[in-house]
Amino acid sequence: MPELPEVETMRRGILPILGCRITSAERPACTRRPILLQPRIDAFDRRVRDRVVVNVGRRGKRVTIHLDDSQTIVIEPRMTGLVLLAEPPTTDHLRLRLNLSAGSTKSSRPNESTGAGESTGSTDLGGPIDQLLFWDRRGLGTVRLLHPAEMASMVDAKLGADALCITAEQLRENLGSSRRAIKVALLDQAAVAGIGNLYAAEILFLAGIDPRTRCDKLSRVQWQRIQECTLNVLEDAIEHEGSTLSDGTYRNALNTEGSYQNHHRVYDRADVPCGRCGKANIRRIVQAQRSTFFCPICQRKSGLHETVTIR
Ligand SMILES: [Zn+2]
């Protein structure tokens, strides 16, 4: 957490910074263990000062802010990081502030923009955009300012195709000969970027595939299904602005909660009756030190179960 839907929601939420000029970067006073910031704040500040934001993108679970001199600010929220335009949940865990000038206005509907260069319209928080914040309670997140060659070697080379774009054929090519369990393999960012523990469980439930199934035992049809269900689950979660779990940490760029947690079918629902078959309780097992949730009937290992209708 956060995974692709949460990070994509953050990206869309901060689109109003497009066209803004960065006037300075500062590290607010923080008594907590410092986050990884590269380079150190004085050099960071010098390199971003007076640069204009020309694009806001995403690579897997990272937000990328592209500047007019080809540098990229790569923000990886990891466990508890947030990218915010609004006031943060606490001032205590504020890690980085980019001061901005000549921006547009804060959008009240951060989930409706899909690409760079869009105008975002309404202004429920009002006023020009004057700052972008990185907040992180646990401090495991990272912020890096990278030149294009560093971006290629440190980010692009380590990530597979994005989970929203990958084809079934690419998925099968990357993972089809692996002996790993499919649930574990879907978390491999070099194979497919963006899926984490929560959405892997939801995707496999929708696909009707046992999370313990070895990748090399999956049929072409099953890979097709995994790809379709990946798209279905992630797009649905983005529409709901991601999942805010019981710890309440994840918020969108305007510091409000997502709502996909109300639509989870298996994640964190151990011993709750399955909403689809109504016959079994959701089971929790541990795979590669992470919890996996699944329905033992809807995701039967034999693969003889009926087709699960998508949507
Ligand atoms: Zn079931």
pLDDT at residue 162, rounded to an integer: 98
Distance 215 CA to ligand 1 centre (A): 22
- Please indicate whether residue 302 or residue 238 has the higher confidence score (pLDDT): 238
Task: Summarize pLDDT for 176-198 with one digit per residue, the tens.
Answer: 999 999 999 999 999 999 999 99
CB atoms within 10 A of CB 29: 8
Question: With respect to CATH, is domain 4-158 assigned 3.20.190.10?
Answer: yes
211-238: average pLDDT: 98
Tell me if 4-158 shares its fold with 161-294.
no
Distance 264 CA to ligand 1 centre (A): 13
Catalytically active residues are 2-3, 61, 290
Share of the chain above pLDDT 70, in %: 89
pLDDT confidence bin for 29, thresholds 50/70/90: confident
> Looking at the domain 161-294, which fold is it?
Helicase, Ruva Protein; domain 3 (1.10.8)
Domain spans of the chain, in order of start:
4-158, 161-294
CB-proximal residues (5 Å) to ion ligand 1: 274, 276-277, 295, 297-298
Task: Summarize pLDDT for 72-81 with one digit per residue, the tens.
Answer: 999 999 999 9
pLDDT confidence bin for 306, thresholds 50/70/90: very low
pLDDT at residue 304, rounded to an integer: 44
Separation of alpha carbons 66 and 118, rounded Å: 15
DSSP of 154-182, one letter per residue? HTGGG--EETTT--HHHHHHHHTT--SBH
pLDDT at residue 30, rounded to an integer: 82
Q: Answer whether 151's CB lies under 8 Å from 55's CB.
A: no
1-13: average pLDDT: 96
Task: Summarize pLDDT for 123-146 with one digit per residue, the tens.
Answer: 355 678 899 999 999 999 999 999
Task: Summarize pLDDT for 91-110 with one digit per residue, the tens.
Answer: 999 999 999 997 555 544 44
Distance 299 CA to ligand 1 centre (A): 7
- Please indicate whether residue 16 or residue 30 has the higher confidence score (pLDDT): 16
Distance 114 CA to ligand 1 centre (A): 34
Task: Summarize pLDDT for 256-302 with one digit per residue, the tens.
Answer: 999 999 999 999 999 999 999 999 999 999 999 999 999 999 999 75
User: pTM of this prediction?
Assistant: 0.90
Separation of alpha carbons 273 and 177, rounded Å: 34
